[in-house]
């Protein structure tokens, strides 16, 4: 699965993308897995209320299931326009 | 529907004229343009815009389709830039056409409200003191409720 990071999430993680093998059933489980892996992920995911998530390029939420999902992205609230 | 996500600058006059020329039977054409604003006293040097390639185009298309289904409009043009922009540069534009102006205005406002909070762009301001990500405003999120 590809895990993408944008804006300050990308800066805290230190890279734009990870390719990971995971058994996580939901986005929240994936976050917990990453958080336990390394301090920089813990720093990026410290406040989930400040984060948004997209699953296969659709805006989603932290309880979304990950079965057959190819791409998950984490980012702060969007500031387009 | 014409959706473009690009790094290059665009020519507002050229785009607006081209959009107008493609319309038939439309009595109203509305355009909105977003410009990099110099911050008072903050000495803005650049605005860096990051986006999520792939999702950005899909998200804007979805917003535009919703606008087409809600109002009696003929067509929509959205151009949104990414990359490093300087103060006074144009960031993005929206154009809508409709038989009557109320639909064209409302659809353009709807597009702008949703582009601000639902299209995956992130702005970073670079000033003399350093760089910082622009925080989303509660007011921008609240603006979605009226639709």
What is the three-state SS of chain B?
A: CEEEEECCCCCHHHHHHHHHHCCCCCCEEEEEEEECCCCCCCCEEEEEEEECCCHHHHHHHHHHHHHHHHCCCCEEEEEEECEEECCCCEEEEEEEEECCHHHHHHHHHHHHHHHHHHCCEEEEEEECCEEEECCCCHHHHHHHHHC
Which residue in chain B is spatially nearest to A51 when comparing CA positions? B136
The answer for residues whose C-beta is within 8 angstroms of residue B118's C-beta and 6 or more apart is A59, A78, A80, B59, B63, B144
Strands of the B130-133 sheet, one edge to the other: B83-85, B44-51, B121-127, B130-133
Neighbour count for residue A71 (Cβ, 10 Å): 15
Which residue in chain B is spatially nearest to A53 when comparing CA positions? B120
B80–A76 CB contact, under 8 Å? no
pLDDT tens digit sequence for A47-80: 999 999 999 999 999 999 999 999 999 999 999 9
A4 in contact with chain B, both atoms CB, cutoff 8 A? yes
Q: To the nearest whole angstrom, how far is the Cα of B3 from the nearest Cα of chain A?
A: 14
pLDDT tens digit sequence for A22-54: 999 999 999 999 999 999 999 999 999 999 999
Q: What is the residue-level pLDDT of chain B in tens, covering all 147 positions?
A: 999 999 999 999 999 999 999 999 999 999 999 999 877 776 899 999 999 999 999 999 999 999 999 999 999 999 999 999 999 999 999 999 999 999 999 999 999 999 999 999 999 999 988 999 999 998 888 889 999
* pLDDT score at B128: 86
The ipTM is 0.95
* pLDDT score at B43: 85
Question: Which residue segments constitute the domains of chain B, with CATH numbers given?
Answer: 2-146 (3.90.1170.40)
Question: Which residue segments constitute the domains of chain A, with CATH numbers given?
Answer: 2-75 (3.10.20.30)
A7 in contact with chain B, both atoms CB, cutoff 8 A? yes
């Amino acid at each position: 699965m590809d895990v993408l990071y944008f804006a300050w999430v990308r800066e805290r993680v230190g890279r734009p993308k990870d390719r990971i093998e995971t058994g996580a059933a939901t986005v929240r489980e994936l976050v917990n897995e990453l958080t336990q892996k390394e301090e920089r992920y813990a720093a990026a995911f410290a406040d989930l209320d400040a984060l948004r998530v997209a699953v296969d390029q659709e805006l989603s939420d932290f309880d979304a299931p990950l079965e057959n999902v190819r791409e998950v992205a984490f980012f702060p609230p969007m500031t387009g326009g | 529907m014409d959706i473009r996500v690009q790094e290059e600058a665009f020519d507002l006059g050229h785009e607006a004229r081209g959009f107008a020329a493609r319309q038939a039977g439309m009595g109203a054409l509305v355009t909105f343009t977003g410009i990099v604003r110099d911050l008072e006293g903050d000495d803005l040097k650049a605005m860096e815009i990051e986006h999520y390639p792939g999702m950005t185009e899909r998200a804007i298309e979805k917003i535009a389709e919703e606008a087409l289904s809600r109002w009696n409009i003929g067509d929509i043009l959205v151009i949104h830039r990414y990359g490093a922009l300087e103060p006074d540069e144009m960031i993005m534009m929206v154009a809508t056409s409709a038989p009557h102006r109320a639909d064209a205005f409302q659809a353009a406002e709807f597009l702008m409200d949703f582009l601000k909070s639902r299209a995956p762009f992130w702005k970073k301001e670079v000033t003399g003191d350093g760089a910082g990500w622009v925080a989303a405003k509660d007011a921008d999120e609240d603006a979605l409720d009226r639709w």
